Structure formats: C-alpha cells, structure tokens
Amino acid sequence: MIKLTDLDTILLSGAATRHTGSLLPVPENVSSAGARLTKSISALLNHGLAEERETHDNAATHRTDDNVAYGVYITDAGNAAIGIAGGDDVGEDASIPSPAQPDTPRVTKASAVLALLRRKEGATLADMIAATGWLPHTTRAALTGLRKKGYQIDKSKRDDQTCYRIAAVAA
C-alpha cells in the first residue's frame, strides 16, 4: 500500500466529498502548493488512486489536449486508501460520504508527542523521534511550539539523557 502524504490525503478527501469525484478545484489551503501539488497529482495517477477522464467542467480541468479537457477523478482504490468503502465508480449520482464521527480523536504526530510528555516518566528526544519519525531539530521545534502555546515543559536527566515532561499548562 502506498504511503499517502498529507497533500495526497487532502486531495483525495476533497474529491471523495464531491458528487463528481473530481480532485479539482483543490481546497484553498493547498492551492499555493505549486510543484508539490503537481507531483502529488502525478503520484496519485501513477498509483491508480486517481484517473484522468474527459470533462466539460472548466473548474475540474487538469489539462487540455487538442481542445479536449481532462480532469482528475478519485478511483475506488483512492477511496479505499482514505478509508472509504469502494463500490461503484464515483459519478454524478454518487452520494456524499458522511463526515468522520466527531467523537473520534484526531491522532497526529503532535498529539503523540503530547501523550509522551504527559507520562509520569516523560520522554526523551529519542522517544519522541521514534514516535513521530521527525528529525531531531523538528522535534525540538515542536517542544518550542508547545512552550509558546503555554505548556510548561520540565527537563530532567534519565540515564544520561535529557527527559522532557509537561509540568503544567498556563491558563
């Protein structure tokens, strides 16, 4: 199974919510992605998670070839990749999938770091790197970001390594 980037997931999720299944137009928060956006769409096409089809919708046009417009549309494999059960091809009569349940907590790398820091023993930089896959400088930047958000992070030593732990959250 292909590992989806955040941009891939945004594109596929946006397409899954449209009755046409078109990846285009892209959401405004990623419209400035430029070359990353082109690379992401190409990767989705190459892996069969999206397909090109002829379109008459200017907003859904990805490319034109001899006055024929082509759009990019999510496939059943693309739906499955983001956890939407496949069935018929997405088309004009496809229903809009229901949104995720609001009681399901969003699991992110940042939430994983917070969970590690909330433990009684805290977490070392190596623990946080292993949990997130981030580089050391990115992990330290995340700690700085938490401090800016009002978390008081205490440092201590454990086996000759610096251990970080959330002591309090500023009001």
Query: What are the extents of the domains in the chain?
Result: 6-81, 109-169
Across residues 56-84, what is the average pLDDT?
88
Q: Pick from 132, 141, 129, 140: which is nearest to 112 by CA?
A: 132
DSSP helix, strand, coil percent of the chain (3-state; round to 5) = 40, 20, 40
- Is the confidence at residue 151, as pLDDT, over 50? yes
Give the total residue count for the chain: 171
Please write the tens of the pLDDT for every residue from 48-61.
999 999 988 888 88
**pLDDT attached to residue 50:** 93
CATH architecture of the domain with residue range 6-81: Orthogonal Bundle (1.10)
What pLDDT shows up at residue 63?
86
- pTM for the structure as a whole: 0.50
- Do the beta carbons of residue 167 and residue 153 sit within 8 Å? yes
Averaged pLDDT score across all residues of the chain: 83
* Residue 50 CA: distances (Å) to CA of 2, 17, 40, 108, 163: 13, 14, 11, 25, 45
What is the model's pLDDT at position 52?
93
Fold of the 109-169 domain? Arc Repressor Mutant, subunit A (1.10.10)
Q: What was the pLDDT predicted at 26?
A: 85
As a whole number of angstroms, the distance between CA 72 and CA 62 comes to 6
Segment 68-75 shows an average pLDDT of 92
Indicate if 109-169 has the same CATH topology as 6-81. yes
Mean pLDDT check: name the lowest of 8-12, 53-57, 89-93, 115-119.
Answer: 89-93
